[in-house]
Amino acid sequence: MPSPAFLIPLGVSAILGAIGGLAFQWVHTERAWELFTAAFLWTLISAAGTTIGRLVGERVRRNQWRRALWLAHVQSFPLTTVFLLVAIPFSRGAVLVPSVLPVLYGSTLAIALFMTVLGVVTARF
């Protein structure tokens, strides 16, 4: 059973995905993209926070690059995927997948790599 420290951010990502997707039904397209982007950025903030928590909680040492990289990706990509899996059906026809999917996953990869470097370089163990 996954820990609550992982399930809670997944739930938050799902809620943020619903908000980001429903924005395309509530407001004009330009404003909807702003809300969608803001919701996605909050998902990335959640991913960064849980990654930091996991790196500290599992006492990743300075030279454990593989472990830190694995933890950062395990904490980041599921949150992004849940966000998108919820946002796409709620958006009802807004063109989300082809146009922004590479950008969203690219930014997730950038955050995961940054958290890896940050976690390993600043490790106190």
C-beta separation of 72 from 116 below 8 A = yes
**Cα distance between residue 20 and residue 15, in whole Å:** 9
The reported pLDDT for the residue numbered 19 is 94
**What is the structure's pLDDT at 95?**
64
> pLDDT per residue over 83-124, tens digit each?
999 998 888 877 666 678 899 999 999 999 999 999 888 877
- Residue pLDDT, tens place only, 13-69: 999 999 999 999 889 988 999 999 999 999 999 999 999 998 988 898 888 889 999
Domain limits of the chain? 4-121
